[in-house]
């Protein structure tokens, strides 16, 4: 859904496609990762259309962002599991 009108954004911002890189950061409890997601092309009546450009998906842990939040999350999970 995020990429539904990505080409329109580039036009409105007057940005050439070659100079724009998309990236997303996912915040997870554990297991950081980096994933390169390739461009997706779909076939429509008018021909081939890029559904989304290639982008990088970066997954970082809560602990990497904030130690205190990570500690509180861990404590909350432990309490919930004891119930």
Task: Give tens-digit pLDDT for 26-66.
Answer: 898 888 788 888 888 989 888 888 888 888 888 999 999 89
List the domain range (segments joined by +) for residue 60.
23-82
What pLDDT does residue 60 have? 92
Q: Which residues pair with 57 in a beta bridge?
A: 24, 35
Answer yes or no: is 74 within a domain. yes
Query: How many independent structural domains does the chain possess?
Result: 1
Mean of all residue pLDDT scores within the chain:
86
What pLDDT does residue 11 have? 84
What pLDDT does residue 20 have? 81
Answer yes or no: is 42 within a domain. yes
| pLDDT greater than 80 at residue 1 | no
Answer yes or no: is 72 within a domain. yes
Answer yes or no: is 18 within a domain. no
Answer yes or no: is 56 within a domain. yes
| Strand bridging mode 22-28 / 55-61 | parallel
């Amino acid at each position: 859904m995020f990429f539904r009108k990505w080409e329109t954004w580039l036009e409105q911002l007057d940005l050439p496609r070659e100079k724009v890189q998309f990236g997303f950061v996912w915040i997870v409890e554990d297991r950081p990762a980096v994933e390169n997601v390739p461009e997706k092309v779909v076939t429509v009546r008018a021909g081939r259309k890029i559904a989304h450009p290639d982008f990088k998906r970066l997954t970082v842990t809560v602990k990497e962002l904030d130690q205190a939040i990570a500690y509180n999350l861990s404590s909350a999970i432990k309490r919930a599991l004891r119930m």
